[in-house]
Structure 1
Amino acid sequence: MFVVVVWFLRRPMSARVRRAASGQFVQLSKGTVHYQWHGPENGPVLVMVHGLTTPSFVWRDQLSALTGAGHRVLTFDHFGRGFSDRPFASYDMDFYVQEIDELLEKLAVPAGFNLLGYSMGGGIAAHYGALRRDRINRLILLAPAGLLKSEPNWVARWPVIGDLAMFLFGGISLRRGCKRAGAREGVDADMIALQCRETRFAGFGAAVLSSLRHVIYIDQTATHRTLMDRDVPVLAVFGTADDVIPIDCAMRLRGINRSAQIVEIDGAGHSLVTTHAKQVNRAVLAFLLP
């Protein structure tokens, strides 16, 4: 009975829900993706890749600074998040590369764009940049995954049991974690409410769990060496108080890619794009200067 109740408490991502979305939708091979263009049409293009649990509304505090500086910004919701579809799939690096490739092709985004990724999106952006060096100009990584030495928890490690635990209790656990982290880092109530709302949609937990298993904890040492070898200009921004992507990751990246520009924001946690937006925006815009 409890399983049935949990099932019916999950909201489907329906046309009715999508009526509240700004932006547009595009059909890709695995489903519909929600995206939005921001800023002047003739500006240099910056593609922004969000992280594990917070879709494109996470860029709330970056958009005005970036577009005000003349950049043409593309934001989108990964499959499994925001207003995009929730396909049943393995959410691994190949899955996300295909998602980005198809989106950029559908939207006719030419080569020479800048790419920015945050958290899991940083790991995806680094992987994409190493694969598609001919397409990107500059790469920006904000608290990027791919440099961790820790292991995933038992929910991510154990198939079947972990899937059942995520289905039954994942939403509750993610909401509690979001509220605790938000209160600790000083995230505003509106952003916390939006993050918690995500957990109530069907397919969200499965996408998060699959991404934990296949993206978050992979070692991207070889990827960052490739970025250095292929002369990709890289900016990496870390928070000194981040307990998700700890500052040790910045030191590790320094040892792998000697050409990467690394900025540490004192006192910032993992929500640095919200709590320390001015410092993040300042570093990003300085790096993007022609």
Structure 2
Amino acid sequence: MIWFLLFAALIIAIPLVIERNRAEMEDADRGSALGQFAELPDGVTHYAWTGPAQGPVVVCIHGLTTPSIVWRAVARGLASMGYRTLTYDLYGRGYSDRPSGPQDRQFFIKQLQDLLEDQDVTGSFTLLGYSMGGSIATCFAAAFPERVERLILLAPAGMGLAPNKLVDFMAKTPLVGDWLMLALFPPTFRRGIRAERDIPVQVRHIHDHQAEQLDYKHYVPAVLASRRGILADVLRDEHRAIRTHDIPVLALWGQDDQVIPASAIGSLAEWNRAAEHEVIKGAGHGLPYTHAPQIIAAIKAHIDTADKATD
């Protein structure tokens, strides 16, 4: 019996020890990062500007697991259109700090507000959100409609999540769910990265950057905190408010997306009948790094059509 208890204790301890021994994100790790760092009230935030200094501003918000490098190809495309694009790492990801606590809409909206103030972005801008970043962008646009000229959503969350009994259990169950996340998420995440390595991408070394996230402490808990926080919200009222404020919305979807449920398109179309939709053929969930040219072409067509309508 005692050997069984010792074995069980060892199994329980392994994920906790691995997490404890992961590296802290420190200045030495940030030395190779492109971009700059802002000392915000809740921690250091890594950000980068791309494009002409006097161009109209676009702000891009990345998703749950992949940091702001996911936008690199899209940001270059936007720069070629004359836009000045701000990308940044959400707390818990990339080169930004990893504060503890809930990761709900207020948490992410405050980070964006603090960064915009730090960067002296006082006017309105175009807001892009990818996956979980789509939820953050939607919540920001609904809360501050006067700041958002246009909302562009790439495979956005916020219309409900695809059912997954294990993930739902982890999200709803303290302690046990936290342990299961530490034990099961890293190997599952690595398998997902390996499965994508043969897919052509427009962001060099994107898969290496994704895998590197697991090297740092507090990343896995941050993913779970977001799943329990902003990703638990169904944003029906927010999308209806955006429609009321006449904010133009373009939603881009991957034809073969296995992360965002197919019903999401219908939900968004019901909540905001003015939103435009385009399904990108052959695309999965990694739209910004697998289909950046198609994204840029869709954004350009959307803006050109809007400009012609106002002439």
- When normalised by structure 1's length, the TM-score is 0.94
| Secondary structure at the counterpart of residue 134 of structure 2 | helix
Q: CA deviation at 1:187?
A: 5.0
The one of 162, 177, 188 aligned to 2:192: 177
Verify: 1:58 aligned to 2:70, yes or no.
yes
Paired with 1:10 and 1:135, the residues of 2 have a C-alpha distance of: 39
Instruction: Report if aligned partners of 1:139, 1:234 keep a CA contact under 8 Å in 2.
Output: yes
**1:18 counterpart (30, 33, 38):** 30
Aligned to 1:243: 258
**Mapping of residues 129-208 of structure 1, within 5 Å:** 129-148=141-160, 150-151=162-163, 152-180=167-195, 182-183=196-197, 187=201, 190-208=205-223
1-structure distance, mates of 2:115, 2:159: 27
Shift of 1:222: 1.0
- Of 277-286 and 4-13, more deviation after overlay is shown by 4-13
In the TM superposition, 1:204-243 aligns within 5 A as 204-243=219-258
Equivalent of residue 290 in structure 2, options 248, 255, 275: 275
CA distance in structure 2 between the aligned counterparts of 1:216 and 1:179, rounded to whole angstroms: 25
CA contact (8 A) 1:175 1:199 kept: no
Distance in 2, matches of 1:266 and 1:246, equals 16
1:84 aligned residue (88, 93, 96): 96
Q: For 1:42 and 1:8, how far apart are their aligned partners in 2?
A: 45
Q: In 2 relative to 1, CA 150–247 (structure 1 residues): closer, same or farther, beyond 3 Å?
A: closer
Residue 192 of structure 2 aligns with an amino acid whose one-letter code is G
- In the alignment, the residues of structure 1 paired with residue 129 and residue 116 of structure 2 have an alpha-carbon distance, to the nearest angstrom, of 15
Gaps (5+ residues) in structure 2? 1-12
Deviation at 1:277, TM superposition (A): 1.5
Of the structure 1 ranges 200-209 and 239-248, higher mean CA displacement relative to structure 2 is found in 239-248
The structure 1 segments of at least 4 consecutive aligned residues displaced by more than 6 Å after TM superposition are: none
Contact residue 166 and residue 209 of structure 1 kept, 8 A: yes
- Indicate the residue corresponding to 1:34 in structure 2: 46
Residues 66, 40 of structure 1: alpha-carbon distance in 2 compared, 3 angstrom cutoff: same
Query: Which stretch of the first structure deviates more once superposed, 144-153 or 230-239?
Result: 144-153
Contact 1:13 1:85 in 2 (8 A): yes
1-side partners of 2:36 and 2:73: how far apart? Answer: 20
1:119 correspondence with 2:147: no
1:258 aligns with 2:273: yes
Q: Deviations over 1:239-278 (max 9, x none)?
A: 1111111332112211111100111112211012222221
Secondary structure of the structure 1 residue equivalent to 2:145? coil
Following the alignment from structure 1 to structure 2, what is the Cα–Cα distance between the partners of residues 286 and 185? 26
- Choose 62-71 or 170-179, whichever is displaced more: 170-179
Change (3 A) 1:149 1:170: closer
Instruction: Confirm or deny: 8 A CA contact 1:150 1:217 kept in the other structure.
Output: no
Unaligned 5+ runs, structure 1: none
Q: Deviations over 1:167-201 (max 9, x none)?
A: 34432222222323x25855588221211111221
Aligned sequence identity (%): 39
1 or 2, which has the higher helix percentage? 2
Q: Does 1:95 align with 2:107?
A: yes
1:82 and 1:198 in contact (8 A); partners too: yes
Q: 1:65 to 1:187 in 2, by over 3 A?
A: closer
SS of the residue corresponding to residue 199 of structure 1 reads helix
Indicate which of 110, 119, 122 corresponds to 1:107.
119
Counterpart in the other structure of 2:8? none
In the alignment of these two chains, the number of paired residues is 289
Q: In the superposition, relative to structure 1, how do residues 127 and 8 fare at CA in structure 2: closer, same or farther (>3 Å)?
A: closer
Q: CA RMSD in A?
A: 1.8
